[in-house]
């Protein structure tokens, strides 16, 4: 299996383009670089940042999407985080939410722990797994133009969950750190949706 990574796409530019016109979209970001990418694109009350709970981003997205069916929900995560939650792709495929998209920022490495190569650079295709689990759309994109098209696509309603892989250059840009206080981020998020803190 090939270990080549032809993508030279900058992850921060990709995430910024993806969220440029996010409107009412709610976003859950996975440990760790996607959390920094989401924060770098602009802190927002409708963001929930994970600093742990690896493998949980897309499933938090599922619970949220089921509770808020009129909102679009985006789980923004990395290849390592999603690989730890592979079973969740089956659970989401069965649940079939119409307002949940998973976008995997895929540098094909465990970037937070020393850039060890991950499975996605060795032939494991998350989009094929998603389609086999009943997702209604899945694609791999590699250029900024394709990401801009993807941003338009995920703003539109779907008949079920979708998963997109954005292949990016394996590098660690300077960290952009959101609050690590999960209670604060939780209550801020809920207040954004109109729920008072208990």
Partner 1 sequence: MHSPQPNHDTRASDDWPSELYRILKAADVRQMSYVPDAGHSQLIRMFSADRDVTTNVLTTEEEGIAIAAGAWLGGQRSVLLMQSSGVGNCINMLSLSAIGRFPLLMLVTMRGEWAEFNPWQVPMSRATQPSLEAIGLKVMRAETAEDLVETVESAASLAYESDQQIAVLIGQRLIGKKKW
| Residues at the contact surface with partner 1, assessed by CB under 8 A | 26, 28, 48, 50, 52-57, 59-68, 71, 85, 87-88, 90-91, 94-95, 182-183, 185-186, 189-190, 193-195, 198
DSSP code, position 23: T
Shortest Cβ 184–partner 1 spacing (Å): 10
CB 92 within 8 A of CB 161: yes
Mutual angle of helices 33-40 and 11-19, in 10-degree steps: 60
Minimum distance from CB of 27 to partner 1 (Å)? 11
| Closer residue to partner 1 (CB): 77 or 108 | 77
| Number of residues that make up the chain | 198
CA proximity to 168, closest of 80, 110, 107: 107
Shortest separation between residue 137's beta carbon and partner 1, angstroms: 21
What is the smallest separation between the CB atom of 3 and partner 1, expressed in angstroms?
A: 29
Going by the DSSP 8-state scheme, the letter that residue 96 receives in this structure is -
Nearer to partner 1 by C-beta: 46 or 111?
Answer: 46
């Amino acid at each position: 299996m090939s270990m080549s990574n032809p993508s030279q796409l900058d992850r921060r530019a990709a995430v910024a383009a993806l969220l440029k016109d996010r409107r009412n979209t709610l976003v859950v970001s996975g440990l760790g670089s996607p959390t920094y990418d989401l924060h770098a694109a602009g802190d927002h009350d409708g963001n929930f940042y994970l600093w742990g709970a690896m493998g949980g981003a897309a499933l938090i997205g599922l619970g949220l999407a089921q509770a808020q069916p009129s909102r679009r929900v985006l789980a923004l995560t990395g290849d390592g985080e999603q690989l730890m939650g592979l079973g969740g792709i089956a659970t989401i495929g069965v649940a079939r939410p119409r307002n949940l998209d998973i976008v995997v920022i895929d540098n094909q490495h465990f970037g937070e722990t020393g850039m060890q190569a991950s499975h996605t650079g060795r032939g494991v295709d998350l989009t094929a797994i998603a389609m086999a689990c009943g997702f209604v759309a899945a694609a791999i994109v590699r250029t900024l133009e394709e990401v801009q098209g993807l941003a338009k696509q995920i703003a539109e309603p779907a008949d079920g969950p979708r998963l997109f892989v954005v292949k990016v250059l394996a590098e660690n840009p300077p960290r952009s750190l959101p609050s690590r206080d999960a209670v604060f981020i939780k209550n801020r998020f809920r207040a954004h949706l109109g729920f008072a803190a208990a």
